[in-house]
Amino acid sequence: MFDNFPLWPDRASTAAGNVDALFVFLIIVSGLMTALIFAAIIYFAARYRRRRGVFAEQIEGSTPLEITWSIIPLFVFMVIFAWGAVVYFKSRTPPRDSTEVYVVAKQWMWKLEHAEGQREINELHVPVGRDVKLIMTSQDVIHSFYIPAFRMKQDVLPGRYTVAWFRATKPGTYHLFCAEYCGTQHSGMIGSIVVQEPAQYEAWMSGGTTGPLSATGEKIFAELGCVTCHRTDTQGRGPNLQGVFGKPVQLEDGRTLTADENYIRESILDPGAKVVKGFKPVMPTFQGLVSEEQLNALVAFVKSQSQPGPAGAQTAGAKTATAPQDKAPAEGSQVQ
Ligand code: CUA
């Protein structure tokens, strides 16, 4: 309804309508309250102005009145709370089977890498109508990934992953901003999101690539010698990584957690922090030895080891004895 209203940014994602509706509701409620308060001020100022021969009368409180003006605002605020919580929860929870894009922010650019291996700088190509999950980290200071047309904004922090997602609904080119002051060139840390029709997108995707990110990760996994301990049989000094991602992991100290992107990341940079039950803290740290891009590739590789299909998610459990795979999948077969 505001599509031609120049103050309103484009509305190009599934989240945009929900966010706008809540925003409009908040403006209307605030506007009504403001009007009500001003009307009361003006009315009372006129009605009870000082007049000759008229004296002020003391009145007692009124319980029904006080209850009314407590209950009604409470109800309104609970509506805002519940509505806001639903919108927030939706925007915080990437749907399963989202297409994944790794984002590395640095002073002062955005580096993006598709799971399929395509790399971009300050530009992100996405297909219309598909869920896209962003797994983001920063090489230096805090940045913030902001796409106004998608009503999506997420801080990007050094030392950990933050996640955001969107589903574009309209082909076009949209602004990407950094929304967190990050140094002198902060205002220049901008880019564009190019939303394409699926066919166009496929054509773009088939352009030059270095192969899937997980394959790059597999290569790094071999080069760094990770394979010698993280074996797919039971003899490894480190846990078997097949089927680990997204599953609960029992730790040596009795805790249980879910193996997500941040856990994999931490286990590479600070292996002693959360040692898997049944293993010794013998793994050296790779802090300083791998770049953010290489870390992303390693995370993508570990993830690919848990994808359903020939790469085998059925072998869940760190210490489950598994026979080496007899069917050689397209990738992921060298890790023995
Ligand atoms: Cu990056 Cu501001």
* pLDDT tens string 311-335: 433 333 333 333 333 333 444 333 3
Is pLDDT above 60 for 4? yes
Residue-wise over 198-228: b if at least 16 C-beta within 10 A, else e? eeebeeeeeeeeeebbbbbbbbbbeeeebbe
pLDDT higher at 204 or 329? 204
Q: pTM of the predicted model, to two decimals?
A: 0.70
Tell which atom from ligand 1 comes closest to the C-alpha of 183: 2
Averaged pLDDT for residues 227-243: 78
Is pLDDT above 50 for 336? no
Averaged pLDDT for residues 192-211: 83
Q: What is the pLDDT of residue 209?
A: 66
What distance in angstroms lies between residue 215's CA and the mean position of ligand 1's atoms?
Answer: 31
Tell which atom from ligand 1 comes closest to the C-alpha of 107: 1
What distance in angstroms lies between residue 47's CA and the mean position of ligand 1's atoms?
Answer: 55
Averaged pLDDT for residues 245-273: 85
CB 136 near ligand 1, within 6 Å: no
CB 106 near ligand 1, within 6 Å: no
CB 109 near ligand 1, within 6 Å: no
Q: What is the pLDDT of residue 322?
A: 39
Is pLDDT above 90 for 251? no
CB 182 near ligand 1, within 6 Å: yes
Q: What is the pLDDT of residue 87?
A: 93
Q: What is the pLDDT of residue 318?
A: 36
pLDDT band at 101 (very low <50, low <70, confident <90, very high): very high
pLDDT band at 74 (very low <50, low <70, confident <90, very high): very high
Residue 176 vs residues 5, 182, 216, 222: alpha-carbon distances, Å: 21, 15, 27, 36
Tell which atom from ligand 1 comes closest to the C-alpha of 186: 2
Q: What is the pLDDT of residue 288?
A: 78
Averaged pLDDT for residues 191-217: 83
Q: What percent of the chain has pLDDT over 90?
A: 41
Tell which atom from ligand 1 comes closest to the C-alpha of 182: 2
CB 176 near ligand 1, within 6 Å: no
Q: What is the pLDDT of residue 75?
A: 94
Tell which atom from ligand 1 comes closest to the C-alpha of 142: 1
What distance in angstroms lies between residue 76's CA and the mean position of ligand 1's atoms?
Answer: 37
For ligand 1, atom 1: residue with the closest CA? 143
Tens-place pLDDT, residues 53-67: 888 888 888 899 999
Longest dimension (CA), the chain: 104
What distance in angstroms lies between residue 181's CA and the mean position of ligand 1's atoms?
Answer: 5
pLDDT band at 187 (very low <50, low <70, confident <90, very high): very high
What distance in angstroms lies between residue 179's CA and the mean position of ligand 1's atoms?
Answer: 6
CA gap 160, 53 in Å, rounded: 73
CB 180 near ligand 1, within 6 Å: yes
CB 104 near ligand 1, within 6 Å: no
Tens-place pLDDT, residues 14-29: 998 899 999 999 999 9
Is pLDDT above 90 for 166? yes
Q: What percent of the chain has pLDDT over 70?
A: 88
Tell me the pLDDT of the chain averaged across its residues.
83
pLDDT higher at 30 or 286? 30
